[in-house]
Amino acid sequence: MTLDASYLRGTMAAVLSILQHSTCPENVVFHFLYVRNEPEVFSSIKSTFPYLNFNAYRFDSRRVLGLISKSIRQALDQPLNYARIYLADILPVDIKRLIYLDSDLVMVDDIVKLWGVDLNDKVLAAPEYCHANFTNYFTDAFWSDPVLSRTFEGRKPCYFNTGVMVVDMDKWRQGKYTRKVEYWMVVQKQKRIYQLGSLPPFLLVLAGNIEPVHHRWNQHGLGGDNIEGKCRSLHPGPISLLHWSGKGKPWLRLDSRKPCNVDHLWAPYDLYRPSKHSFEE
- 0.85 exceeded by pTM: yes
Q: What is the dihedral of CA 271, 2, 98, 158, to 10 degrees?
A: 100
Q: Which residue(s) pair with 55 in the sheet?
A: 31
Domains of the chain are: 5-213 (3.90.550.10)
In whole angstroms, what is the distance from residue 211 CA to residue 127 CA? 8
Letter string b/e over residues 161-183, b meaning 16 or more CB atoms within 10 A of that residue's CB:
bbbbbbbbbebbeeeebbebbbe
Give the model confidence (pLDDT) of 31-44 as tens digits. 999 999 999 999 99
Give the model confidence (pLDDT) of 188-243 as tens digits. 999 999 987 889 999 999 999 999 999 999 999 999 887 777 899 998 999 999 99
- Nearest one of 169, 173, 199, 170 to 184, comparing CA atoms: 199
